[in-house]
Amino acid sequence: MSSFLRPAVTGQAPTVMPSHFTEVSAHLAIAPLVSVVIPAMNEAANLPHVFATLPSWIHEVVLVDGHSTDDTVKVARELWPKVRVVEQTGRGKGDALISGFAACTGEIIVMVDADGSADGSEIVSYVSALVAGADFAKGSRFANGGGTDDMTPVRKLGNRLLCATVNAKFGARYTDLCYGYNAFWRHCLDKITLDCTGFEVETLMNIRVVKAGLRVQEIPSHEYVRIHGVSNLRAVRDGLRVLRVILGERRKGKQ
């Protein structure tokens, strides 16, 4: 796998990078191509904020449109003319992500929400972890350096309990479970077959990367408040859905 970071030597004049490198800054370049997947449904008002934080050096943006009735696709194409638009045929965040992953051509895939809660400038931290040896770079709002402006006390408690359950049942060491800002090498998809169409797909991924023995590194991340619109998350209902995924994966492990 040809993937590494190459810093420039201090004091030397800048050199012309080979065609298979992507320049990140004057002192940093990466070999693997990076795809960013953004599932979106009626997020036209938020996309300007989302795209403004994406680094210019990423290989491609794959926007999965979930039957939007506003100008989500139009705005995306205006903001990022080379954006790849995938029309979602099914329903749910899991279904959207699976469709987006299939459309990616990069070696590294990054998952970013379309509500403006994620800072795209953090992508370099995820990519750095992957090229340094991790298989799966998992964002965490509760790792040292992370934070959240958007979680209620009830959601924090639920996330903590569910996270502790996964750690106890599967031998993981997560500090955050229900967070959708993650990145991974494309080859990981061959080892974590995804068959979940709802938002709990994020929990399913977190569990299956551990079960597959993949190397996981948490990345401190800050979650901001949704800029426009209202979230569809419901603490009790969605917590129970996540719990069902955990129990289902535990039963499979015993079998």
Asked if pLDDT for residue 221 goes beyond 80, the answer is: yes
Confidence of residue 86 (pLDDT cuts 50, 70, 90): very high
Q: What percent of the chain has pLDDT over 70?
A: 87
Beta bridge pairs of residue 109: 35, 184
- Is 143 part of a structural domain of the chain? yes
Asked if pLDDT for residue 210 goes beyond 60, the answer is: yes
Position 232 scores a pLDDT of 65
The mean predicted confidence, pLDDT, of the chain is: 88
The candidate with the shortest Cα–Cα distance to 202, out of 4, 44, 39, is 39
The candidate with the shortest Cα–Cα distance to 55, out of 133, 119, 129, is 119
- Is 22 part of a structural domain of the chain? no
> Span 47-66, mean pLDDT?
96
Asked if pLDDT for residue 246 goes beyond 80, the answer is: yes
- Is 26 part of a structural domain of the chain? no
Position 61 scores a pLDDT of 98
Q: Which domain holds residue 227?
A: 32-254
DSSP letters spanning 79-134: HSTTPEEEE--S-SHHHHHHHHHHH--SSEEEE--SSS-S-GGGHHHHHHHHHTT-
CATH of the domain at 96: 3.90.550.10
Position 255 scores a pLDDT of 53
- Is 126 part of a structural domain of the chain? yes
Confidence of residue 13 (pLDDT cuts 50, 70, 90): very low
- Is 6 part of a structural domain of the chain? no
What's the total number of domains in the chain? 1
Gap between the Cα atoms of 221 and 64, Å rounded: 23
Asked if pLDDT for residue 12 goes beyond 80, the answer is: no
Amino acid type, 97: L
| 112-161 pLDDT tens trace | 999 999 999 999 999 999 999 999 999 999 999 999 998 889 889 999 99
- Is 17 part of a structural domain of the chain? no
**CA angle in degrees (0–180, nearest 5) for 32-34-39:** 160
Gap between the Cα atoms of 23 and 145, Å rounded: 26
- Is 14 part of a structural domain of the chain? no
- Is 145 part of a structural domain of the chain? yes
Asked if pLDDT for residue 6 goes beyond 50, the answer is: no
Q: Tell me the pTM.
A: 0.88
Query: 227 to each of 69, 76, 238, how far by Cα in Å?
Result: 19, 16, 22
Q: With contact defined as beta carbons under 8 Å apart, do 43 and 114 qualify?
A: yes
